[in-house]
A and B are shown apart, each in its own frame.
Chain A
């Protein structure tokens, strides 16, 4: 049973690292395409995986920049969440799993996901506003249902905090 748990945690750690690297690469690719599009506007037609922001760029460069910056910021926050997950998984030891560092990281994950949700809502609102301004503009909305995850992770972090207290009491029982 112990070996199975360890294997699952190792696999999850590898997956979290892949997610972190993937998101960072995506953010980097968008930034590079954005940089290229400043001198060659045609690049905005395929910013990343056929995302076409050419119409927006022609409408107003400031709006185009704001959309790209918000998109990249959300990706960086998502990558940071994946990084926190890798940190939790590498710090956690099955012999003494409840440490204050891990508890703080789990709580931090909940707050970062909440921040991503707020950023995603702002991004979606901005996209919808732009859709009204530009004819033929296709919205590129971010699904915001993951707000439920904030609650779940936050509850886990509070349970983990109690676990830290119980483990500390157990260690200081002679």
Chain B
């Protein structure tokens, strides 16, 4: 998938643990882990809104488009 989730980078910048973020955005650790490891196929606007609020950042800080390298 060419969309990269940089949630771990933002969490490190804000010095926030996965448990803490989970409590703030009201998401289970399992779902946050799916998002963090890039296994998620879609993200709800409400989830994105909650994460941006908790990490005080923009959606672009969490999501990044990286074009696949052609072989």
Q: Which residues of A contact B (CB under 8 A)?
A: 168-169, 172-174
Q: Could you say which residues of chain A place their CB within 8 Å of the CB of B42? A: 169, 172-174
- Give 8 new A-B contacts, CB below 8 A, not counting A173-B43, A174-B40, A174-B43: A169-B42, A172-B41, A173-B41, A173-B44, A174-B31, A174-B32, A174-B42, A174-B44
A174 to B34, CA, bound (A): 8
A169 to B41, CA, bound (A): 6
Q: Could you say which residues of chain B place their CB within 8 Å of the CB of A168? A: 41
Q: Which 4 A-B pairs have the closest CB atoms?
A: A172-B41, A173-B42, A174-B31, A169-B41
Interface residues on B, range: 10 to 19
B47 contacts chain A at the CB level, 8 A cutoff = yes
A78 to B36, CA, bound (A): 48
> In chain B, what residue has the closest Cβ to A168?
B41
Q: Could you say which residues of chain B place their CB within 8 Å of the CB of A172? A: 34, 39-42
A168 to B34, CA, bound (A): 13
Can you name 15 A-B pairs with beta carbons within 8 Å?
A: A168-B41, A169-B41, A172-B34, A172-B40, A172-B41, A173-B40, A173-B41, A173-B42, A173-B43, A174-B31, A174-B32, A174-B34, A174-B42, A174-B43, A174-B44
A169 to B44, CA, bound (A): 12
Q: Could you say which residues of chain A place their CB within 8 Å of the CB of B44? A: 173-174
